[in-house]
Amino acid sequence: MRSSGRRAAPTARQPESSEAAYAEAVKRLARQPQSRAALALRLARLGYAEEAVREALDRAAADGYLNDREFAASLVRRRSTGRGHALIAQELRAKGIEDPDAEAALDHVEPETERALALGRALLARKRPANPQELRALVGPRLSRRGFSSGLVYRTCLTLSDELQAAGAFDRV
């Protein structure tokens, strides 16, 4: 018989105990920061009662172990180098971060225009397009997939095209 490689998830030994749920929450937060919503879902899947989970999460927040605003800021710092606001905001929503906390975290990030240009330049460092159309075909889809708005992708491609045109890169084909 083959094993999937994953162990079976442990179940709550004291499903009604907020103390046991708190211990499990702190153990999980020590391994990896999580949002309140994601941690509540994990504890519920382990079999802890809703009231025990709520009390445990309130205590973890009061003790400073659980903070959605700090979690959002940390996630935004890690993800912002190569992604646009839309993609990061989508990930924050998927992790259960409320919009005010997500917006506060996204406000402290370098402007998207600069990040899009830096990413576009990095893409062009690996491959030189022969003309502006090839540049748009190379850079545009990659920036879009990373969550940059279509207007910003268009402006970024124009700026990069102007830079290469001024450097005479399109003349050397």
Both tokens assigned to 132: 């502006």
Domain parsing of the chain, residue ranges = 18-66, 69-106, 112-167
Instruction: Count CA atoms closer than 13 A to 163's CA, side-chain side.
Output: 15
DSSP secondary structure string, the chain?
----SPPPPP--SSTT-HHHHHHHHHHHHHHS---HHHHHHHHHHHT--HHHHHHHHHHHHHTTS--HHHHHHHHHHHHTTS--HHHHHHHHHHTT--HHHHHHHHTTSPPHHHHHHHHHHHHHHH---SSHHHHHHHHHHHHHHTT--HHHHHHHHHHHHHHHHHTTGGGG-
Q: Which pLDDT score is estimated for 91? A: 92
Roughly what angle, to the nearest 10 degrees, separates helices 18-31 and 50-62? 50
pLDDT, tens digit, 9 for 90 and up, residues 9-36:
556 678 888 999 999 999 999 999 999 9
Q: CA–CA distance from 129 to each of 35, 118, 156 (Å)?
A: 43, 17, 15
Question: What mean pLDDT do residues 40-62 have?
Answer: 95
Q: Is the pLDDT of residue 7 over 70?
A: no
More confident of the two residues 14 and 58: 58
Both tokens assigned to 87: 């993609």
Give me the residue label for tokens 């094993």.
3
Q: What is the mean pLDDT of the chain?
A: 88
Q: Is the pLDDT of residue 8 over 50?
A: no
Question: What mean pLDDT do residues 59-78 have?
Answer: 93
pLDDT, tens digit, 9 for 90 and up, residues 105-152:
888 877 888 889 999 999 998 888 989 999 999 999 999 999 999 999
